[in-house]
Amino acid sequence: MEFSAQAIATFLGGQVEGNPDIKVNTVAKIEEGKPGALSFLSNPKYEKYIYETQSSVVLVNNDLVLEQEVSCTLIRVPNAYESFAKLLELVNQAKGAKTGVHKQAAIEPSATIGQDAYIGAFVYIGENVTIGKNTKIYPNSYIGDNAKVGDNTIIYAGVKVYDECVVGSSCVLHAGAVIGSDGFGFAPQPDGSYHKIPQIGNVVLEDNVEIGANTTIDRATMGSTIIRKGAKLDNLIQIAHNVDIGENTVIAAQTGIAGSTKIGKNCMFGGQVGIIGHISIAEGVKLSAQTGISNSVKKPGEVLIGSPAMSAGQFHRSFVLFRNFPEIRKEIDSIRRRLDAISE
């Protein structure tokens, strides 16, 4: 599929600088540009590449000031990154949407499949399941009894949605995600063994939630584990039973959140964050990678680093001392030796 610079600018509400009739048929990073490609520049760190890129068209911010001539055609927009994302979404939609039920899919008679849904090979859909319209379920996925999946949701290959769980509309579940496995509930016994506590709740993913590959979300002991609308979870995350994650919160890979913890909306967690159970985290909190949280965070918008966690300012001040410990140790030893000499 081919688009002219002018057609792209019209779609994005941008302005063309250069040849409005030049056409592009692919996308590329600006440093790897080639003729016929569309690129974008939003980070000033990459500005040097605009003077040497081979891309035919480059999206740039309105406020970009060029230091020299460029060979490519520019499209100026308020936010080049957001505009490029819109174009990628358009390209993705243009690939063609799958519909229909594969002959090797297994669907229980009591299940309801919405209009224009796609059910791939070796998918199993259990009893009384409801699948929304235009939803795509790719091969080797499992949807358990009484589960519900909303409209326009994409469930990639190998996803498991256990019994009774609810997946909202316009969600994306990437390959290998497990929704609704048992929470880690075991009661210690006098003889040192453990008795399994039945997990009879479910998981609820609200609308516009995205779950990364091989992320696991445990069903509640009772009630629901809830991922609220707009939340985005990266790959390889563990969410324990009865956790409640707020709207539009984003969590990076390898984070673990223990049971019954409540996360506010609009939070941002880096990779490998660890959070104990039965605490709460306020809205807008930011946790740096590998931060360990052992107490509730009550201040909205707080930025925390380290394990155990401390404020960003306190961490940076402490790190200056930590980094200089060898020299501080030498000074202390030198002072001790001088004091010993005086006392003798």
Kindly report, residue by residue over 35-60, the tens digit of the pLDDT. Answer: 999 999 999 999 999 999 999 999 99
Q: Is the pLDDT of residue 336 over 70?
A: yes
Return the closest-CA partner of residue 141 out of 163, 167, 159, 125: 159
Residue 208 is encoded by which pair of tokens? 């516009």
Q: What is the mean pLDDT of the chain?
A: 94
Task: Quote the CATH superfamily of domain 100-314.
Answer: Hexapeptide repeat proteins (2.160.10.10)
Mean pLDDT of 186-204: 96
Parallel/antiparallel/unpaired status of strands 274-275 and 286-287: unpaired
**pLDDT classification of 316: cutoffs 50, 70, 90:** confident
What is the DSSP secondary-structure string of 122-176?
T-EE-TT-EE-TT-EE-TT-EE-TT-EE-TT-EE-TT-EE-TT-EE-TT-EE-TT
Query: Does position 90 have pLDDT exceeding 80, yes or no?
Result: no
Burial class (CB in 10 A: 0-12, 13-18, 19+), 257: buried
Provide mean pLDDT across the span 98-112: 96
CATH H-level superfamily of 3-94: MurE/MurF, N-terminal domain (3.40.1390.10)
Residue 91 has pLDDT above 80, yes or no: no
Q: What is the pLDDT of residue 274?
A: 98
CATH topology agreement for domains 3-94 and 100-314: no
Q: What pLDDT does residue 343 have?
A: 82
| Element holding 332 (H helix, E strand) | helix 325-343
Active-site residue (options: 102, 195, 241, 316): 241
Return the ∠ at Cα 239 (arms to 236 and 245), rounded to 5°.
115
pLDDT at position 95 is 65
195 is annotated as an active-site residue? no
Q: Which of 11-15, 68-72, 274-278, 306-310 has the lowest mean pLDDT?
A: 306-310
Please give the share of the chain, as a percent, with pLDDT higher than 90. 84
Instruction: Give me the percent of the chain exceeding a pLDDT of 70.
Output: 99
Residue 36 near residue 56 (C-beta atoms within 8 A): yes
Q: Domain locations in the chain?
A: 3-94, 100-314
Which pLDDT score, from 0 to 100, does residue 96 have?
58
Residue 94 pLDDT grade (very low, low, confident, very high; cuts 50, 70, 90): low
pLDDT for residue 319: 75
Read off the pLDDT of residues 156-166 as tens digits, 9 standing for 90 and up. 999 999 999 99
Q: How many angstroms separate the Cα of 301 from the Cα of each of 233, 239, 262, 264?
A: 19, 22, 15, 10
Reported as a pLDDT band with limits 50, 70 and 90, residue 192 is: very high
Give the predicted TM-score (pTM) of the model.
0.83
